Amino acid sequence: MRQFEVPAYAAVSDTGFIFLGNSGETFNLNEIGKEIFDLIRLKRNTEEVFKEILENYEVDRQTFERDFEDFINRLLSYGLIKEI
Amino acid sequence: MENKKRYERPVVLKQFSGFMNKFGSRPTTATRTEVDGIPVNELVEKYGSPLFVISERKIRENQRRANRIFKTRYPKVQFAWSYKTNYLNAVCSIFHQEGSWAEVVSGFEYDKARSLGVKGEHIIFNGPDKDKPALRRAISEGSKIHIDHFDELYDIIEIAAELDKKAIVAIRVNMDTGIYPKWDRFGFNYENGEAKQALRRIMTSPGLKLTGLHTHIGTYMMSVDAYKLAADKMVELAGWLKKEYDHILDYIDLGGGFPSNNTLNGQYLPAEQILPTLEQFADAITTSLLELPYPKDELPVLFLETGRALIDDAAHLISTVLAMKRLSDGRRAMIIDAGVNLLFTKFWYKHQITPAQDGGMMTEETAIYGPLCMNIDVMAESITLPVMKKGDKVVIDYVGAYDMTQWMQFIQMRPNVVMIMEDKSIELVREAESLEYLATNEKLPEKLRNFKI
């Protein structure tokens, strides 16, 4: 189980637009990406994120696991989240 | 369960600021769920993936349109289907049903046309490689042989004498039409007088009957002026023949080379925005021909060997996503089951690749690779696509010309080819290859049959 946090300089709008205050970089999230990002902001661990998504979306665990790994790797490489 | 939301892979995209593309970019969220009215999924379920799909309706439409464009500008026009562009029997037969002759460039293609029922007199035999058996057949069946070089000319003189039959010939003429690269490897040159030298030799050979002149100035030609120049030079040669020998030609063959709307690699704008129309090409050619110093009722037939422009947009390649992955720089990559083995024209075209299912609004820059374990197998360096997943389908357009002849049996076998008929029924026109098919011509020496590992 892993736990991440969103740095304080990352501002997110309701539509999934992210602005990084420290670099001026901007990003876009799709709907489910925004939902996961919000859960991370709320300090949910990965197991809790999985539970939430699998309950609400038409997706099996294996498919989501694969996509989640890739998504988290992108967020980490862009500095949008940090592992704690 | 029924209240669950439709799943789409979570995506984060970085926004880049910089110079805007002043032309904007093509809308890439478009999807194509059907090919010629038949759902992509239905086709794949029944015939597998990858799958070539050809539209009978589109081929007929293209040929009829081309006929109309040229025949409204010049009284006598005859198309000859360029076999090398696509010689699937089903495709050739549609063109023959539409009245086209056959234009072949090898003994094998000649035999193929004959086996489909095309009479020798309706075959134009082009190309630098016509071996003696093929020439013998062509001469005895009265096909129109377009001579490429002097060695061939002498072969024909010899065979005609042997058969005691007149060979019906034309010469292929190459010329400077201002385009680069200059196609001077086929036929006899106009500027240096070689063409006239060949014509003189023919006119003085009792075994040969000169019926036409042929040129083919290039392929995927983007210049109308080049055709005008080519037609002018042919008219000059025809005029010279009339003056010198009082000889009237039956036809002038302007070859092929008209482009399709497929966009070339390195071409910034989509092809349809920069290419001349078929009407413009027709104007250029026919305006010149009408200048011929011939009696009006004896004007030669204009032969055209159009290939690409008549077939490219009539075929599509359906392919399935095998995997999605990340490249080292974070870029998205997609592997599909159709590669350069099936799409030889990938080496010069930027094909239009469209998802066959609805995707979300989010798009990603994606590199598309084929299934071959070879670095050359790149289907698109970078293309904007909606979020896609394994199992999704894409439709690749403009694959009718040269792909189904230049395709390679390399690593993978060639797949089914189906034709959607005018009444929307589907016919399998070439069955997928099997190991058995591939092994047919292989011979394994006896001493190599057994081994222990």
Closest CA to B405 of B446, B361, B345: B345
Q: Is the per-residue pLDDT at B259 higher than 90? A: no
**Greater pLDDT, B84 or B183:** B84
In total, the C-beta contacts within 8 angstroms joining chain A to chain B are: 66
- Per CB-CB distance under 8 Å, the chain A contacts of B4 are 55-58
Length of chain B, please?
Answer: 453
Residue A35 has what DSSP assignment?
A: H
ipTM score assigned to the predicted complex: 0.94
Portions of chain B given CATH number 3.20.20.10: 100-306
Portions of chain B given CATH number 2.40.37.10: 34-53+313-433
Residue B431 has what DSSP assignment?
A: P
pLDDT tens figures, B78-127? 999 999 999 999 999 999 999 999 999 999 999 999 999 999 999 999 99
Contacts for B195 with CB less than 8 Å, ≥ 6 apart: B171, B173, B187, B188, B189, B237
Q: Using an 8 Å Cβ cutoff, are A64 and B12 in contact?
A: no
- Write the DSSP string, B287-339: HHHTT-SS-GGGPPEEEE---HHHHGGGEEEEEEEEEEEE-TTS-EEEEES--
- Spatial separation of the C-alpha atoms in residues B120 and B334, rounded to whole Å: 48
- Write the DSSP string, B115-142: HTT--GGGEEE-SS---HHHHHHHHHTT
Q: What is the mean pLDDT of chain B?
A: 92
Is B5 close to A78, i.e. CB distance below 8 A?
no
How many Cβ atoms sit within 10 Å of the Cβ of residue B210? 21
The CATH number of the domain covering residues in A4-83? 1.10.10
Nearest CB to A71 within list B10, B330, B361: B10
State the CATH class of domain B100-306. Answer: alpha beta
Residue B268 has what DSSP assignment?
A: -
The DSSP element (H or E) to which B48 belongs, if any, is none
pLDDT tens figures, B278-337? 999 999 999 999 999 898 889 999 999 999 999 999 999 999 999 999 999 888 999 999
Residue B372 has what DSSP assignment?
A: S
* φ, ψ for residue B68, nearest 5 deg: -60, -45
pLDDT tens figures, B130-175? 999 999 999 999 999 999 999 999 999 999 999 999 999 999 999 9
Q: Is the per-residue pLDDT at B28 higher than 70? A: no
Q: Please tell me the pTM assigned to this model.
A: 0.88
Contact with chain B for residue A56, Cβ under 8 A: yes
Q: Which fold has domain B34-53+313-433?
A: Lyase, Ornithine Decarboxylase; Chain A, domain 1 (2.40.37)
Report whether the peptide linkage leading into residue B181 is cis, meaning its omega lies within 30 degrees of zero.
yes
Residue B403, both tokens: 């792909």
- Per CB-CB distance under 8 Å, the chain A contacts of B5 are 56-58
Residue B430, both tokens: 């070439």
- Spatial separation of the C-alpha atoms in residues B237 and B243, rounded to whole Å: 10
